[in-house]
Amino acid sequence: MVFSIDTALMAVLFILPAYFANATPVLLGGGTPIDLRRNFFDGKRLFGDGKTLRGFAAGIVSGALIAGLEAYLLPGTQFAFLPSPQLILLSGWMLSLGTMLGDLAGSFIKRRLGMDRGNPSLILDQLFFLFVALAFAYPFAAAVITIESFIFLVALTYVLHVGTNFAANKLGLKSVPW
């Protein structure tokens, strides 16, 4: 497969549910921490106050809504990255779920490493959600997740994540720029 502008656009359309799922908790999160302020057996919080039930649910719902919009708009176009609306919906749902679980797993790992909330970690903060999201969607979208698309999405995700988090910090939506 030759990587082209069309392929890049299809990769972006494919990953949009994950991007929305990852960003939504910044806007709609808050409230009860998903770990209910409980500690793991090592005495450290499971995830921390930054991972909330409302944010987790809002992330999944927003990603699923984007997948639904794509399933409605894309079939029959040259940018239909999967052959049916059902597969677009299923991959979007799995991307959203994988994103939120990957974000939780990243926080869990950071707590085990003794990193406080807000401390930066290149892989865990910027890319881990993407890796888990792609793993969750792979069984339904293996044709879309080529090595070229994977490399493109890693680079794009890193740049977008750094830029949007910096902007969210400047707008007062996040306390740290990562």
Mean pLDDT for 109-133 is: 89
Does the global pTM surpass 0.75? yes
List the chain domain ranges: 5-170
For residues 16 and 90, what is the distance between their CA atoms, to the nearest angstrom? Answer: 13
What is the Cα–Cα distance from 78 to 133, expressed in whole angstroms? Answer: 24
Confidence label for 1 from pLDDT (cuts 50, 70 and 90): low
Q: What is the pLDDT of residues 76-112, one digit of tens each?
A: 898 899 999 999 999 999 999 999 999 999 999 999 9
pLDDT tier, 20 (very low <50, low <70, confident <90, very high otherwise): very high
Band of pLDDT at residue 59, cut at 50, 70 and 90: very high
What is the b/e burial string over 43-69, where b = at least 16 CB atoms within 10 angstroms of the residue's CB?
Answer: ebbbbbebbbeebbbbbbebbbbbbbe
User: Rounded to 5 degrees, what are φ and ψ at 73?
Assistant: -90, -30
pLDDT surpassing 80 at residue 66? yes
Q: Is the pLDDT of residue 37 over 90?
A: yes
Task: Report the mean per-residue pLDDT for the chain.
Answer: 93
Residue 162 has pLDDT above 60, yes or no: yes
Residue 141 has pLDDT above 90, yes or no: yes
Give the residue-averaged pLDDT of 130-156: 96
How far from 139 is each of 12, 68, 81, 96, CA to CA, in Å?
Answer: 18, 19, 14, 14
